Structure 1
Amino acid sequence: MRAIDRRGARPRPPAVRLPSRNALLAMADALAVRSGWAGREREASWLLSARPSAVQAARRLAVARLSAWGLRRQAETAEVLVGELVSDALRRCDGRIRLELRVEDGLLRCEVSGVFAGAGARPGPAPHRSLLARLACCWGVCGQVAWFELPAGRACPGHSRGVD
């Protein structure tokens, strides 16, 4: 028999907190990486919900994928920069946020895009320019996409820094 409290109501069972869609996406991708399903290709893309959990999920996705690609040295820097770009997108975004990672021509390229609010609104890493300039090989904003590049090898090719 179940206990009854002073008001005559039965106590509710503790609430179960389900993980967010972003957290589930990050967990599923980490499982794919660990099982070897996601380490051979050199391009990956994820669609994140425009919620605060997107920042942590994007960071986890980037680190797991870069580790699977053998780019552990770049993972820490990419984690910081991905978090900054996704945070910026969250402040400006109305819909979903796309995170893309690609390795080609000796560079790791990360792009963060979304459906941004307002006709003139653009993703703009303005508060993060100094961080991007310090850590990224090059970076910029083109339309509704904010991006950065890191060297995937030893040295950064002679790319320019700044906004397109």
Structure 2
Amino acid sequence: MKSEFISISLNKLPILGVGFFAVLTPVLAQQVDSGRINYLGGVVQDICNIETQDGTLASSVDKTTLSSDSNQVNSLTIGPISCLGTPQAGAITVVSNMKSGALITLDEPKLNGPSAAEQSFISVNNSAYDNTIVLNSNESGSVDTSSVDVLFTNNSGFENGEYTAYVTVTCSPAP
């Protein structure tokens, strides 16, 4: 008896199936959810990335000058050893998206150590020494890698000890 019921049911299935799915089609369409993709973080702003590379100070033989510029200090070596340090320029590279261009300001260098500097100067890419320097970016808003030298003088001579120096570099939109 069960086999008759199954075969009768199967024989009627195509007819019932069309009607059944025709009735369910609008119901199924209403149950389909829509989706949405959200995009976060749409901030537009000027950026200016300043990369720096440290330099090294050295002293002149008479101890009146400390500089990262080998042209400003006399080398004193005994064999392979540099007794007064080996000067090495620092460097900066700037990448920005500022359409009007960027102004890169290098403040007057600061010296830390046993004696104070009487005068402090800075030079970029072997330019003339000055107290501060302002660089203009190229059309893309950037400044290619540039060497930065510092120069400190003390007419009485710097006292013995360890000295460090730093230069503050800032970036702002060009007017």
Interval containing the TM-score (normalised by the shorter chain) = under 0.3
Tell me: higher relative CO, structure 1 or 2? Use CA pairs within 8 A at least 6 residues apart. Answer: 2
Q: Which has the higher strand share?
A: 2
With normalisation by structure 2, the TM-score equals: 0.27
Q: Which has the higher helix share?
A: 1
Please say which structure displays the higher CA radius of gyration. Answer: 2
